[in-house]
Amino acid sequence: MNPRTLLVFSTSLFLFHLLLVSSENVNLDFPVFSFRNFTLLGDSYLRNGVLGLTRELEVPTSSSGCVIYNHPIAFFDPETNVTASFSTRFAFSIGNINPSSFGDGLTFFMSPNNQIWGSAGGYLGLVNSSQLTKNRFTAIEFDTRQDLRFNDPDENHVGLDIDSLISIKTANPMLQSVNLKSGNLITAWIDYMNEKKKVEVFLSYSSFKPEKPLLTVRIDLSVYLKEFMYVGFSASTEGSTELHYIENWSFQTMGFHPMRPRIHPHNVSDSSVPHTPPIPVSDSSNRHHKRIGLGLGIGFPALFCSALIVFGWVSVKKWRDIKTEKSLKAELVTGPRQYSYKEIKSATRGFNSSRILGHGAFGTVYKAFFTDLGTISAVKRSKHAHEGKTEFLAELSIIACLRHKNLVPLQGWCVEKGELLLVYEFMPHGSLDKVLYAESEHGNPLQWSYRYNIAVGLASVLTYLHQECEQQVIHRDIKASNIMLDGNYNARLGDFGLARIMDHGKSPVSTLTAGTMGYLAPEYLQYGKATEKTDVFSYGVVILELASGRRPIEREAESHRMVNLVDWVWRLHSEGKIIEAADKIMNGDFDEKGMETLLLIGLSCANPNSMERPPMRGVLQILNNEAEPMVVPKAKPTLTFSNSLPLSIDDIVLDCDDSLMPDSQGNQTQLK
């Protein structure tokens, strides 16, 4: 390498750090609090992982406290001029030793200042009583005392405050039967959607997020959300015995997309397919960061590499004016990159049949070795370029902007020579159906802990797709053969060919029925309408498969009748012996309570009545033992449609693909 190349190389590394630092989404989750990550100011304290914000003893004295997360959080990316959206959840309680002596309340705040601690009394620990305009903040107050100086409406209200305790808008939690002073544990959710310029606050005594926000404020916070802000909690008392506790806290920013792919859909698209805009991303992972680091770092001893970074850092000033910098930056933000046809062809030995991993809805999947990068990937190649175009573009535009640890990561794409190719991270264990059936038959049953973990991972990614993306994504094709397993048997959802992005709140668009029959919700079969509830149904079927090791529709050995898995498990449940549905191949080697939970979740998700199916977030909470399992009726609910279902099971079996037939599995559906 000559010095010039070195310089370019190290400069690019440096720029990369800059870009990533300034525009990465954060995802914090503190089930318990620790001293390491928080600064405690004033009377705040930490005990048994719980934050106390005001003094617990020595009443009646006034007290104020403030707790700040140590690291500044990026809310604005000057590179792309993007303001983040954010979403936070925390469980708090406001207790009282002497119920007649209450006040003043607590706040969640964001501030450019990490020493924001303010005065006791009506100042809520957020504003300094001798310098009312000193502290800058955007806060949600949970106020338990009526302070007329700040136009408080009553002694039980939630409000949005900006740089002043006179709220922009307030709401009374009693509207949703929540009393802040009850002493009960209350969970609060605060969401800000920058696109919609809207703040929403939800409150509940349970850990389930209510459907309706308590407080909605239409406001553009991008004026207040600075490049870096500190976030935290504050509270105060005024001669009262009120106690303020925060039990746990999670916080995410969304909307930065450092990896936006540069696609030119008009070159390849037909006009019937509008190009779907990239989805703002919510993810904490710096996987991207690591991967690039790895790619560039291969073959370089760490020391040499850091020397280069320092060298680059020193040199970057000199390069600032040079025109090439702009194009360099543009190259660096692309993330999933465009591959050349030649590159992919040589990595798959000219699409050699020995490299075929499987055949999916979209086309053939090949294993590819990129020798210069030292990586193994899976390449999806469209069967017929023209027919595949629609699906290809749908998949690319959706997947390229999603980031979640339970998705199959997209590494790149190629549109050349009339071919459409997608490059994915290679999944060493193939698909769930292969592991569940083919490998089980060869005496290698999938362990219980992996099964449970797969159920959790899948619930987590569906929660993300359904509820946490700015634009809701309905997958539409959740089935065991679309769930890939990485090196640690973590579930990775793939094959977004059929997914469509939907705006939250819009009614689902009617589309053709697609996917595999056993996984389809009755209302989807009937009306062809995909919603998040149809995804939940398919999830339920996959969970039942995972627990029972049986296919969604299977031919019974003795009677040769077709048996529907949901019906079969439901029958065992009504006979009070649901545990007998557990996969025999595990030889009883599983946690009985966990197994029962899994089967009950499977049934409640596969409830024929879509209204009865739980939201994915609720499922995730049950799996994480944060909520009680739901009650499943002993008898499977029956549904009446205006006319009967179009297909009986036997029609379905004649109609559907061969993945229902146990013996045709194996290598066929290894990677779809």
Ligand X SMILES: *[C@@H]1O[C@H](CO)[C@@H](O)[C@H](O)[C@H]1NC(C)=O
81, 100, 272, 371: which one binds ligand X (CB under 6 A)? 81
Total interface residues for ligand X by CB under 6 A: 21
The nearest distance, CB 91 to ligand X, in angstroms, is 4
Binding to ligand X in span 12-31, by CB under 6 A = 28, 31
Binding of ligand X by 117 (CB under 6 A): yes
State which residue, 108 or 117, has the beta carbon closest to ligand X: 117
Binding of ligand X by 238 (CB under 6 A): no
345 to 374: interface string for ligand X, x by CB under 6 A: ------------------------------
Cβ neighbours, 10 Å, residue 425: 20
Q: Which two tokens stand for residue 539?
A: 């999830």
8, 46, 132, 185: which one binds ligand X (CB under 6 A)? 185
Binding-site positions for ATP: 380
Binding of ligand X by 46 (CB under 6 A): no
Cβ neighbours, 10 Å, residue 288: 18
d(CA 535, CA 548): 20
Binding of ligand X by 247 (CB under 6 A): yes
413 to 432: interface string for ligand X, x by CB under 6 A: --x-----------------
338-372 residues labelled b (16+ CB within 10 A) or e (exposed): bbeeebbbebbeebeeebbbbbbbbbbbbbbebee
d(CA 535, CA 498): 12
The nearest distance, CB 132 to ligand X, in angstroms, is 10
1, 3, 36, 350: which one binds ligand X (CB under 6 A)? 36
Binding of ligand X by 248 (CB under 6 A): yes
Binding of ligand X by 597 (CB under 6 A): no
186 to 225: interface string for ligand X, x by CB under 6 A: ---------------------x------------------
131, 184, 286, 449: which one binds ligand X (CB under 6 A)? 131
Binding of ligand X by 91 (CB under 6 A): yes
Binding of ligand X by 444 (CB under 6 A): no
* DSSP 8-state code for residue 45: E
Q: Tell which phi-psi region holds residue 598, choosing left (phi > 0), alpha (psi between -120 and 50) or beta.
A: alpha
The nearest distance, CB 285 to ligand X, in angstroms, is 13
State which residue, 118 or 232, has the beta carbon closest to ligand X: 118
Q: Are 255 and 280 in contact (CB under 8 A)?
A: yes
* DSSP 8-state code for residue 395: H
State which residue, 270 or 626, has the beta carbon closest to ligand X: 626
For CA atoms 171, 175, 181, 185, give the dihedral sign.
negative
What is the SS3 assignment for 423? strand
Q: Are 106 and 222 in contact (CB under 8 A)?
A: no
The nearest distance, CB 71 to ligand X, in angstroms, is 6
Measured CA distances, 655 to 326, 358, 518, 584, 659 (Å): 55, 21, 11, 30, 11
For CA atoms 128, 131, 137, 142, give the dihedral sign.
positive
d(CA 469, CA 282): 7
State which residue, 415 or 427, has the beta carbon closest to ligand X: 415
143, containing H or E segment = strand 138-143
396 to 415: interface string for ligand X, x by CB under 6 A: -------------------x
State which residue, 267 or 354, has the beta carbon closest to ligand X: 267
Active site residues: 477
d(CA 491, CA 484): 6
The nearest distance, CB 583 to ligand X, in angstroms, is 30
DSSP class per residue in 87-138: EEEEEEEEEESSTTS---EEEEEEES-S-----SGGGTTTSBTTBTTT---E
Binding of ligand X by 67 (CB under 6 A): no
149, 262, 264, 584: which one binds ligand X (CB under 6 A)? 264
The nearest distance, CB 267 to ligand X, in angstroms, is 4
**Interface region with ligand X, contact rule CB under 6 A, candidates 115-123, 152-160, 436-444, 520-528:** 115-123
Cβ neighbours, 10 Å, residue 114: 19
Measured CA distances, 643 to 521, 523, 610 (Å): 16, 12, 17
The nearest distance, CB 221 to ligand X, in angstroms, is 13
**Interface region with ligand X, contact rule CB under 6 A, candidates 128-136, 460-468, 551-559, 645-653:** 128-136
The nearest distance, CB 122 to ligand X, in angstroms, is 13
Binding of ligand X by 323 (CB under 6 A): no
Task: Give the chain's end-to-end CA distance (angstroms, integer).
Answer: 41
Measured CA distances, 667 to 20, 326, 659, 664 (Å): 40, 47, 11, 8
Residues engaged in binding ligand X (CB under 6 A): 28, 31, 36-37, 71, 81, 91, 117-119, 128, 130-131, 185, 207, 247-248, 264, 267, 415, 626
